[in-house]
Structure 1
Amino acid sequence: MKRILLVALFVIVGGVLPAHASFDKAMQDYTEGNFAEAYRSFDALAAIGDYSSAFNIGVMYFRGEYVERDPVEAWAWMQLAASQSGAENMTQTAGKIFAKFPPGAQEAAQMRLEELMHSHGKDKLLADLNPVMLSDEECDIERTPLEKEPPRYPRMELKRGRFGRVVLEYSVMPGGHVRDVTVAQSSADSFAKAAGESALSYRYEPAAVAEPTSGVKTAVTFNIAGPVGNKRRLVAELNEWKDKAEAGDPVAQYVYAYRLGVFRSFRKHMKGVDLEYRTANKWYLQAAQQGIPQAQFEIGRNMVMGRGCKADVKNGLKWISAAAVGGIPEAQKYLATSTGAMPEVERREHAIRWLKNAALNGHYFSGLLLAWELVSGPEQASEEELLLAEELVAAEPVDYFDRVRILETKAAVAAAGADFKTAQHLQQQAIDTAERLEWDLRDVNHRHETYLRSEKWSGPYYYDIELEPELQQASVN
């Protein structure tokens, strides 16, 4: 039996929504004996219809790897995979296991299979994972920009006559200023630096929300020829990707959808071009269904936030989890910071696990978040945790421009190591920087007071971000 299971285990059978690269990563964890990570990955992939992963969950139940040995549960997962994929080797393996069950176990196994069909069957997943598309007017979740000062053209690039483009992603705070400015794409480091630093001064209309609005994208172009020539270039570029997307290229489907989202910031210059979120979602979904992890993250995040579709947190997170398994650092960071009402001990363990994955993939922002988690828990950080946090904050920022968060994280790490003088100095620098940017100062002041008392900071980064009463009234008006 063991030999049969091993043969079936290594067969990659396309499910409803293939995720082959992600499956390979899960298989690598399995073959290396990292059963906990492998099980989590198989579970996330099975949730989007990868039935090879579902079968392997059955194998792990049959062998008692990470989970307790349970032949009934094992058969239910294997039979689910066999029935939904049509794979003959899976059917044969499941049949041999089922034949050895006594009548009572067979009945229990059939009942468990029915439960799995209701949650993981092909028709159910296709219904759950397809967002209910809505127009921008029906969603109405965008923050309204009030001020976007254009960046200064890098002198050297201007002399060379070079055209540049940068895609920024950031969060908008309730009060309207932006945080965590990150460069997602750029044509040159000089353009990225100019655009990233400029974005710190962006202002949006205040909103009575309880947390930052994340994943806001803006495209910044550096073009000597002017806006007319730039519009022609952008439209021609979009049409080129659209042709490839319509021909069925999944990578082009993702790129086209992504650029539709980015070019929303040029809507006033691109009248007549369909830049609605639901149009981008259509192409993200097609690419996600063909196993593009980046597209899985984008469609999942849009579902969670209700961008261009009805908000659906549960099923949006399924897509994001699959993207995280596929190694997308942004998806891993998203899971780390989207823990809902999870108990604190579990939340912290969950966050640290995903942030470590993202940081190992070279994601600077995740490394910064990881350092914060390591030192801001209720207990004193261990020597190993403190050492790792110190290494993370010592790294040079890569495509990340929120200097206030960098300074505050360094201050928190210093305080965790009982170096309160350094913590106070760094925190004061953060306060000075926030004042120059005219940002809300409550969070930074709370922490500075803590370090003055020679105490380390314990708790979340966004400790107190509600709008001031007058801003709440202005937002309502």
Structure 2
Amino acid sequence: MNLKRILIAFLLLPSLELKATFQDATELYDNQSYQQAFTEFEKLAKIGHKSSQFNLGVMYLEGTGVKQDLVKAYAWVKLSDEDANKEVDFLEEIKGYISDKEQLASAEEHFNFLKAKYGTEAIVEKYKPEINDVNITEVNNIKPLKNTNPDYPITAQLKGIEGLVTLNLHVSPSGYPTDIRVEDAVQERYFKRVALKAVRKWMFTPNESDFPHVFKYRMGFQLGSPKRERLVSLKEKAIDGDAKSQYLYGKYGSFGVPYDENGHRPFNSNSWYFEAASNGVVNAQHAVADNLIEGKGCEADPKKGIAWLTIAASAGYEPSMFYLAKLSFDKGNGEQGTEWLTQAFETDDPILSYKLVSYVFDNDIQGINPKTLLKLLQSVLNSGVKNPVRTYYYLARAYELAGNLDEAIDYQEEAIEELEDLGETKIPVEFTSYLSKLKKKVS
């Protein structure tokens, strides 16, 4: 008996790694790691993923990765076929293996039990956002005062390639951008370098009182023609049920959508995120959770949001672990918060690495191994961060924790020099006083 599969498309973001546990489970099955595959399918089946429910039924039928159980085989396959009536013949075949009428009654009873917990109505009630007409906040939360258009790479123009780059950055007291990092990008290999090069020379609204604040800026690279064939193709694949495309269309579907009279783009990502989340894309599970907790484009429902965060975190998604850590600390549960943070520290994502270090220092989280912080910061430097002012400041803090005051002083001086090289004359007191403190410790 063949498992059901989902074909994953990479048409829009070949550089973006999305974690889809259904794909992982299928690969585990193909590699004959049956018990692990069963565990992964079971996780997804319990959040309403129909193909995983079907595959559980097949594995119970064959006794693959789990003890054979015809009752559970029938119940899970029937649940996967809920209201679709596509597996009638297969269900009759399974019934043929069940000769005992009492056992067949048990199979129907178990189906009703599963439907009450993991059927479509139950999953919608437990996990689905209640979409509203409120537009999700635009990505850009800062506007440049002085900017120059980035170069559009010739190769991308000739190939008709369009793209997006989302940047994270700080803004200095006089408006200089620092610690510029690429959060994600469509067609990164074409547009990452030119985006970073351009923004380094921009000026923003001065930020004298909140230098630690992280701003986002999304830069679009669009051609007049062809008109976003890739996005149209992405939407078609999302409608056809491709999980990864559903997430990507939710994330980038507003690209090119005109603004309405209120200055908003009439596009709500939540429906697409929910479909992808139910299909096992952990990035989408995290996005649904964030929107539910914050009430972005849907009614706020922290209980549902935390449920999605827990699902994504259990699949190994470090951003969800970090989110749960912050929620734990906010509720005064430092022990649980530290536990989630420790798991999130395993990330190899430089953007998340920076967020983790920032959170530790900006919230004075105690008991973190400075070697861990130094490792995370090194990954940030290796990622090509531009104007790394605050990165150097955090390195100085980490080296101080490690007891290496000479390195701490060197990096804090680097942070101040980096600001001065940009032309900043209003060096934050936070920086100068910290340098004085370090030097007094040495003397």
Same fold (TM over 0.5): yes
C-alpha deviation, 1:411, in angstroms: 1.1
Alignment partner, residue 20 of structure 1: 22
Evaluate the alpha carbon distance shift between residue 352 and residue 380 of structure 1 in structure 2; reply closer, same or farther with a 3 A threshold: closer
Q: TM-score of the superposition, structure 2-length normalised?
A: 0.61
Counterpart Cα distance in 2 of 1:172 and 1:131 = 32
| 1:364 is the counterpart of 2:368 | no
**Match for residue 410 of structure 1 among 389, 395, 415:** 395
Partner deviation per Cα, 1:349-408 (whole Å, 9 max, x = no partner): 21121221x22xxx1233445667889753484xxx62x544444444226446123212
| 1:196 is the counterpart of 2:196 | yes
**Match for residue 147 of structure 1 among 144, 149, 153:** 144
Q: Report the secondary structure of 2:143's partner residue.
A: strand
C-alpha deviation, 1:292, in angstroms: 2.6
Q: Verify the 8 A CA contact 2:405 2:438 in the aligned structure 1.
A: yes
Q: Verify the 8 A CA contact 1:133 1:309 in the aligned structure 2.
A: yes
Q: For structure 1, which runs of at least 5 residues remain unmatched after alignment?
A: 1-10, 57-79, 90-94, 100-113, 224-229, 456-477
Alignment partner, residue 65 of structure 2: none
Alignment partner, residue 270 of structure 2: 281
Q: Which has the higher helix share?
A: 1
Alignment partner, residue 132 of structure 2: 134
Q: Report the secondary structure of 1:311's partner residue.
A: coil
Q: Verify the 8 A CA contact 1:44 1:321 in the aligned structure 2.
A: no
Alignment partner, residue 426 of structure 1: 411
- For 1:282, the aligned partner's letter is S
Q: Verify the 8 A CA contact 2:151 2:194 in the aligned structure 1.
A: yes
Alignment partner, residue 299 of structure 2: 310
Q: Verify the 8 A CA contact 2:44 2:279 in the aligned structure 1.
A: no
Q: Verify the 8 A CA contact 2:22 2:279 in the aligned structure 1.
A: no
Counterpart mapping for 1:150-229 below 5 A: 150=147, 153=150, 157=153, 165-170=163-168, 181-187=181-187, 189=189, 191-199=191-199, 201=202, 203=204, 216=216, 218-221=218-221
- For 2:239, the aligned partner's letter is E
| 1:242 is the counterpart of 2:235 | yes
- Size of the aligned set, in residue pairs, is 380
Q: Report the secondary structure of 2:298's partner residue.
A: coil
Alignment partner, residue 335 of structure 2: 345
**Match for residue 441 of structure 1 among 428, 432, 439:** 428
| 1:378 is the counterpart of 2:378 | no
Q: Verify the 8 A CA contact 1:46 1:120 in the aligned structure 2.
A: yes
Q: Verify the 8 A CA contact 2:165 2:191 in the aligned structure 1.
A: no
Counterpart mapping for 1:50-129 below 5 A: 123-129=121-127
C-alpha deviation, 1:337, in angstroms: 4.8
Counterpart Cα distance in 1 of 2:397 and 2:178 = 22
Alignment partner, residue 63 of structure 2: none
Evaluate the alpha carbon distance shift between residue 144 and residue 373 of structure 1 in structure 2; reply closer, same or farther with a 3 A threshold: closer
Counterpart Cα distance in 2 of 1:318 and 1:282 = 17
Q: Report the secondary structure of 2:219's partner residue.
A: strand
Q: Report the secondary structure of 2:226's partner residue.
A: helix
Alignment partner, residue 59 of structure 2: none
- For 1:20, the aligned partner's letter is F
C-alpha deviation, 1:414, in angstroms: 1.6
> RMSD over aligned Cα, in angstroms?
5.8
Counterpart Cα distance in 2 of 1:33 and 1:241 = 34
Alignment partner, residue 294 of structure 1: 283
Evaluate the alpha carbon distance shift between residue 318 and residue 50 of structure 1 in structure 2; reply closer, same or farther with a 3 A threshold: farther
- For 1:252, the aligned partner's letter is S
Q: Verify the 8 A CA contact 2:169 2:179 in the aligned structure 1.
A: yes
Q: Report the secondary structure of 2:345's partner residue.
A: helix
Partner deviation per Cα, 1:78-102 (whole Å, 9 max, x = no partner): xx9999779999xxxxx99xx9xxx
Evaluate the alpha carbon distance shift between residue 205 and residue 323 of structure 1 in structure 2; reply closer, same or farther with a 3 A threshold: farther
Q: For structure 2, which runs of at least 5 residues remain unmatched after alignment?
A: 7-19, 57-74, 82-90, 96-101, 107-112
Q: Verify the 8 A CA contact 2:129 2:299 in the aligned structure 1.
A: yes
Q: Verify the 8 A CA contact 2:295 2:301 in the aligned structure 1.
A: yes
- For 1:247, the aligned partner's letter is D
Instruction: State the percentage of identical aligned residues.
Output: 16
